[in-house]
Structure 1
Amino acid sequence: MKLKRIRIEQLRQFQHPLMVDNLQPGINVFTGPNESGKSTIASAIRAAFFERHRSSSVSDLQPWGDSSATPQVTLEFDWQDRHWRLEKRFLGRKRCDLEIAGVHYSGDDAEEQLADLLGFQHPARGASKAEHWGIPGLLWIEQGAGHELRPAVEHAADHLQSALGAGLGEVTSSGGDEIIQAVATQKAVFLTATGKPRGEFAKLPVQIAQQREELVGLETRIANYRQEVDRLSELRKQHAMDAREKPWQMLRQQQQAAEKALADVETLQQAQAVDQQALQSCQNTLILLREQLEAFQRQQQTLLQRQSAAQHAKQTLQALNEGNADINAEHQRAEKSYRQACHIAQQARQQEQAGRLLQELERLSRERVALDDRLEKAYRVQAELLEQRRALPCRRIDEPILDKLRKQHKQRDDLGIRLQSVATRLQYDILPDQAVELDGQALTMQGETLLLESGEMMIPGVGRLRIIPGGEDIGELSRRHRQLEEALKALFEQLEITSLAEAEQRMEVYQRLHIEIQANERLLSSLAPEGIDLLSQACESCKQQCETFSAQCRNSTVLAEEAPSLVDAEAQRTAAEQALKMAEKRQSDHQLALNGARRDAVNNDAELQRLQAELSAPDRQQRERELSQQLVEQRAEHASLEQRIANRQQRINAAQPVLLQQDVQRFARSAEQLEKAVHDRELALTELHSRLEAHSAEGLEEQRTECLLVCEQLERRYAEMQRRMAALSLLHTLLKEKRQALTQRLQAPLQRHLNHYLALLFPQASLSVDENLIPAQLTRTQTFGVEHGGLEALSFGAREQMGLISRLAYADLLREAGRPTLIILDDALVHSDAQRLEQMKRILFDAAERHQVLLFSCHPEDWCDLGVAPRDMQALKAAVNSPNLSITT
């Protein structure tokens, strides 16, 4: 089988059609980074073969974010000198068409043809899974699944066995298998297919464990019963001692003594709190008296300060009054300079305005000329566009109607061909001067006619012959042909045409007019983006602005050339303005300082008079003497309170109230715990006595003896079954080994292909195959000797290499059996080191002499020496995203 061409459309990241053709019969390498579409091409091939076209479980094929897309895959390949073409659409417009050397199949028939060809099966419903993929699932390696060989071989086992021929079937039908089956049947009484116990053999260990558990429970209960008897005796002794000694009463007496001592200390603490409050009040009074005496002293100092401040304020006021005239003169000079600078700046602005008016008038004149030119072109394009739009409707044919016309025309031609092939051909050669009538029409000389319906032939002198064309569907074909003729005629009349070619021509003219209209619309949009009316208004507005600016230029006054520029005039005005502001600020600051000096002089005089009046008051000295006397008395009272509080605090500290509080709590809790322990012990005695009476009535010793007997019986039965199961297992293993030896001789073709590839990777190594055609054990020579092991024990990279070698051997086996093969490797051998990769490339190159290989890889540097030019997925993807470019590789 040689894949020739792949076409993908609206499938995952390939929204636009992607065509991959010119595929070589050997190795074809596709390279590109991750997410570049390599796996998408592999998935498209899988979907084309495996997925039912009517399946609704393939929504993952749609482009991301486009739930209305219809994924489509077209594959073309050769097999047995015949060309196959498969086209399959999913979801939106579901369809499957298969053409084999001119023979057409569709729907389920096409899919069954593919399944029979490649050796797989379709699911009854839902998406296709690995168990349905058969031979392709074995030869088409998915990304990251190269090491998983066993499931793929198991799913393809039936097809591989059919390729081996009947030899393996003879082995399985031999008399040895009957013995193996009989032994396996007896062994199945004890073990399941996976080697797990079943039936009585599985239940006995559980029963033995249950009996042992029950026996241990009985022994534990007996031991507990004996411990509880001893504990009952001990509880009775402790209860008698508590009733005699009553230790909690002494703790209650100690608690009462601690509570009395704590009450005495609390009385002292209350008296201490009263004295401390009085001490605080005395301290506050002392602070108040000191502050009042200090206030009298501060008034004398404040009077001296006020006298000095009043003198200083008068001197400051006199100095400010003397400098007032100079400040005002400076302000007047700055104001005059500012007015002159403003006048000069105004003249410069007028001259600048006149220059700008001239420049704007020139710009508007140029803009007016350009707008007039655009308006003239826009009118011309608009006239041409109107003419094209009037001509467009008469040429329009709707695309659905044209598609319908094409479809019916093709169906009519196909039916005509089929009618010609199935119609009855009547060839005649009539003698001269003779005539034969067919349905009333004379037939003379030589000729041929096709009979689609029954007809009567009249032969003079002989009679009538009725000719009925053969074939069950010729009448149906003829009726369908006439219906299509009538439908075509109705469509021709509706479209006012006479042929499909005329409709195609009209459609071509319509499309050309449509393109020209679009071009003129874009041209008109570029000339007048907001419409011709607005463009005309803009022309008129520009004209009016030109006239306005022209009038302003004529009315403007041009100053003398010696007038400074606007920049210099503005700089002079700014400097004058800054000078004026500084003069105004100095004048303002001087006025503020003068007002402040006047206010300070008035305030100082008033405050000085008030202080002098207070100090000269007659009762001031009397008040000062009274405050001094009160201060002495409060100091004496403060010292007395401090002494009394210190003495009482010594007594409180000596009593240690915190320890007394802790003693009260400790003695109370201890007494409560002792009383509760006595009560709990009484309850425990009652409960334990009742439980022991109940246990003594159960007969635990008798139950233990009976349980021990049952347990010993079950163990003897289980040991007997173990011996029988071991004997059957040994016999079954010996029989299977003998059968395996015979099977290996019958599997020689597959073994030969495996050895061929294995020699290229591991010289002098061998790989055995089990009865299910799965590689089982690898034997190879190492530096330390011969090594044996299963494939599962190899590293990940080695398992991946052995998986590929095995698949190539299966492909050779299928090729010898006349079965089609196609090998797809999606990022295979990525875990191989450089040396192993070189060996695997030699193996691939050798296999490519017999099979077509599609290899997808994100490491192009690893496959540049395979002798083929790789196909860059980035270039393919760029072409897909640019629909105007060719996307055929």
Structure 2
Amino acid sequence: MKLKRIRIEQLRQFQNPLVVDDLQPGINVITGPNESGKSTIASAIRAAFFERHRSSSVSDLQPWGDSSAAPQVMLEFDWQDRHWRLEKRFLGRKRCDLEIAGVHYSGDDAEEQLAELLGFQHPARGASKAEHWGIPGLLWIEQGAGHELRPAVEHAADHLQSALGAGLGEVTSSGGDEIIQAVATQKAVFLTATGKPRGEFAKLPGQIAQQREELAGLEARIASYRQEVDRLSELRKQHAMDAREKPWQMLRQQQQAAEKALANVETLQQAQAVDRQALQSCQNTLVLLREQLEVFQRQQQTLLQRQSAAQHAQETLQALREGETEIDVKHQLAEKNYRQARLIEQQARQQEQLSRLRQELERLSQERVALDDRLEKAYRVQAELLAQRRALPRQRIDEPTLEKLRKQHKQRDDLEIRLQSIATRVQYNILPDQAIELDGQALSMQGEILLLESGEVTIPGVGHLRIIPGGEDIGELSRRQRQLEDVLKALFEQLELTSLEEVERRVEAHQRLDIEIQANERLLSSLAPKGIDLLSQACETCKQQCETLSAQCRSQTALAEQAPSLVDAEAQRTTAEQALKLAEKRQADHQLALNGARRDAANSDVELQRLQAELSAPDRQQRERELSQQLVEQRAEYASLEQRIANRQQRIDAAQPALLQQDVQRFARSAEQLEKAAHDRELALTELHSRLEAHSAEGLEEQRAECLLLCEQLGRRFVEMERRVAALSLLDTLLKEKRHALTQRLQAPLQRHLNHYLALLFPQASLSVDENLIPTQLTRTQTFGMERGTLETLSFGAREQMGLISRLAYADLLREAGRPTLIILDDALVHSDAQRLAQMKRILFDAAERHQVLLFSCHPEDWRDLGVAPRDMQALKAVSDA
């Protein structure tokens, strides 16, 4: 199929007709910027084929803002050596005309012819959608939809089957489908779509497991019943033995014997506790007696110590009394030296103050001289400033007058220059002793004269010559010069000056005077920032302060003539003060030591007299002898108690009271346990006997036989179903393998075309397709090895490239089946990098050898190397408008 000519009118932005003709059999590149109408052309082609002419759902084709327009599309194309012409008008005056090699069709007949030719279908009502587009929807890529391949192939599946003939029909024949469907239906009775059991087949394992669990429970109950029968016999034997022997009675007797032995030991332990308490009391008495005897011995030693301490205290007191006079003398001398140092320091401070007064007086004197000087300068600057301010107005020339004067003067100078340039120059060179006259003025020797007006030259003995200047109107220039002279003269008279130089000098003088005034104002401000009056008051105040300080200096000069420096005086005072403090500390320490010695001497005498009186008491020796006798008696009693306690402890240890206590507990617990066990066996015997009677009435053996029979029946049923499911699965697998083999034979041509294009993009790569002829997995060689992945895992640009390659392969397959192909690419491959785009251009160029390609793009620079000249939308519009 080769599209030859397109004509669009009243469709979206093309209010006026747009004609695209001379389309080539191979690649046709149509370029233009965004919104220039490229996608509108593609939409017009789609509408011409897909949309029914009587549809009311195509109002989006109307030009914007024109609801009365009737969009029209005309297409001319060749197919199988016949010329086809299609004309469609929508909305207003709806019609459809199709002419095939002179045979005319109209209306629905024409649209059915197109649908049958290209392999698509019209919607029953409403606008056409992607599911109706069939093969054109697969080969005509809309803007931004190049990566979406699966939906387009699924929508074109029926038409592909019809176009590709018997091979695909064999695979999808109704007979084969019925068999596979029948097998699948029977298999679905037993298995779900995911292969899991369902229905009775899914319930049987649970039922079998439930029956087996019930059977196991019955068998366990039967085994338990048999064990309980054996246990009943054993319990009866043990119960008879307990009734006959009664072993707990012997243990009760052993418990009583142990309790009696334990009571005897406890009696010994009580007596032992009494003796231990008496021993502790005796030991305390011994300690007290020893302490009392030690007190008598320490009193003798204390008496000697007290006598020595009393003698030492008297000696210390006498020594302190002897040194008291010397310390008092040193304290008085230090106090006298301190008073003298204070007096000298006061004189030094007065001398220091006098020095500061003299320095302040000198400073004030200097400040007074400076203030007087500033005041004198301020008066002088003030007088000069007043004179300058009075002179300033006389020198002032206002700026407009000065500017006017300069302007008039410049105009006069310019006019003089022009007059000199156009004036008649008369140069003369007269012989010696000869002369001529110009307007009565004698001319001799050499020279030059400029004539602005006519003049008469008189040559003695010859006659007269009249010279009349020519060129511009010199008279007019002369009058203008005189007018300017008059204006300048009036301005000079107004300023009382005679020339511009004098005016400029006065302006400069005024500027200098203004600068000097500003400088004197700044100087006056620096000399007297707050005014001359305040400066004069400051001078007067400084004078009075100088006189006051002079009087103070004269009054203090006589008081501090012989005083040392203040630093020396302070050092002397500090030394004297430290010496006084040291003397006072020594005096205080001596007095404190003297008072302490007096107190210690008095206390020593008192303690010595008390101790002597205590030692000389008449009953002291009698008490000491009694304490010694008591000590001997207590020692004998202590030894007797220790011996008795040791002997009794041997008897207690030999009886082992802890073991006796354990024996009592052991025999008591054992008797209780044996007696309780006999009672529990009696109760268990009664309970077990009752339970066995109840079990024998349940008929457990009969229940087990019935459960075993039902379990075997369910098992056989499940095995039968398993065999049937296995047979159906095997049959389903064989049928699908046969269908897969047929599908592979059908896929071979498509796989060949895919591999042809894929080799130009990815050498040694392969693209597998499923039974629905949809590419699924890409296998290619990378630097790290083989890589496999589905198309959905590729990048957007790579998916777009794979989509175009697959569509070109479908086109080749359709071409071999004798079906028409037309490939439309609306802004395709915009997400490809430069290298991939170059490879895709090679693929497009190769496909264009077999198919017509309409490529719309807003990037003309990307398609310059396709071997065709791009057609610009603006040029197409211009030709159509023309």
TM-score, normalization: structure 2? 0.46
With normalisation by structure 1, the TM-score equals: 0.46
Q: Which structure has the bigger radius of gyration? A: 2
